[in-house]
Amino acid sequence: MRKRLAVGGISMPGSYTGKLRQKAAVIFLGISALMMASLACYAAEIVDARGRTVETGAAARIVTLGSDVTEIVYELGLGDKVVGVDRAGKYPHPVISKPNVGSRRQLSVEGLVALRPDLIIAANDIGPPEAIDVLASLQTPVVFVPQENSPDGIRAKIELIASALEMEEQGQVLSRRVLDDFNSAANLASAVATTDRKKVIFFHGLIKLSAAGAGTAADAIIRYAGGSNPMQVVQGYKAASEEKLIELAPDVILMMGDGKGGPTPDQVFANPALAATPAGRNRHLIVLDGTYMIGFGPRTATTIRELAQALYPATDIQNTLSEK
């Protein structure tokens, strides 16, 4: 006696049931293969700045850490997918409304995790170390981006981020545009003779007079803008004593804006150590927007032009700028 199977209220012979199961199995395997192929299309395997192999996918909730990283993601047209940034992320304007997870070196891991990101793209110098350990333990892919302060560094940064987002072609287009602009800005320095280059010291703040030495973004920007950095003899940020500052004799003090109209020359040169320098005697202070002073990214060329123009207002740099 044949077994019968009721499907949807219809009685079927047992022999037909076997065929149905076979067809269902074939369909299931076919759908599974399609799903795996689809997932493969969306998976990108890259090697990040720390030599880690990271598999990313079609991210819908991205956290960007580093103002330069954030700007690049926006330039690639994926700003609507950014759900969180670090405190320095203030450009372009829509970034201001995004939740921030603390400064890039003092991250709030709890706040970051609460945003439920499916991809984190971070500057390689984020911290503190314990925060990095926690991030590395998450299931969420984390891509660390190189922080080399040079045109090649910008190119590598853009292309890695574009690869992580599966936008390689767009990344190459953006990279070419940004580097052309960068090289055009850096060429302005050729209008200034080496013997005429001003000595510029960048301070991150006035409380401890922490100055930028070699290996910092500020040092590189000073050099690309045609200045010289007497603090280049030290690595990273170092406190500068009154005696050392007088010995280094900077012509210009460079700082980032505080968002409140300062710092002003009165505030800066109230410091006796700075007042005793040539910069203090001439009250020569330059204040630039910090969002593109601390990382090499799409707008670094603008920083170089602004600094070159402020350093050498009576040179051929002005003529070159007016022609653009």
d(CA 18, CA 37) in angstroms, rounded, equals: 29
- Using alpha carbons, select from 296, 201, 208, 214 the residue that is nearest to residue 252: 201
CB atoms within 10 A of CB 91: 18
Structure-derived torsion over alpha carbons of residues 201, 302, 310, 251, reported in degrees to the nearest 10:
10
Q: List the structure tokens of 161.
A: 């981020």
Residue 25 falls inside a structural domain: no
Which range of residues forms the domain containing residue 84? 46-167
Any idea what the CATH number is for the domain that residue 227 is in?
Answer: 3.40.50.1980
Q: List the structure tokens of 140.
A: 């969420």
| Structural contact between residues 191 and 317, judged by C-beta atoms closer than 8 angstroms | yes
175-191, pLDDT tens digit by residue? 999 999 999 999 998 88
pLDDT value at 24 more than 80: no
268-295, pLDDT tens digit by residue? 999 999 999 999 999 999 999 876 777 8
Residue 38 falls inside a structural domain: no
233 and 308 housed in the same domain: yes
Provide the pLDDT for residue 23. 42
119 and 197 housed in the same domain: no
245 and 284 housed in the same domain: yes
Please name the residue that has the structure tokens 């707008």. Answer: 299
287 and 199 housed in the same domain: yes
228 and 152 housed in the same domain: no
98-148, pLDDT tens digit by residue? 999 998 888 999 999 999 999 999 999 898 999 888 888 888 999 999 999
pLDDT value at 39 more than 70: no
- Using alpha carbons, select from 156, 211, 207, 195 the residue that is nearest to residue 179: 156
Provide the pLDDT for residue 29. 37
Residue 55 falls inside a structural domain: yes
pLDDT value at 10 more than 80: no
Residue 14 falls inside a structural domain: no
More confident call, 35 vs 217 = 217
Sign of the torsion angle spanned by Cα atoms 13, 15, 18, 19 = negative
128 and 224 housed in the same domain: no
240-265, pLDDT tens digit by residue? 888 999 999 999 999 998 878 889 99
d(CA 132, CA 267) in angstroms, rounded, equals: 37
The number of distinct structural domains making up the chain is 2
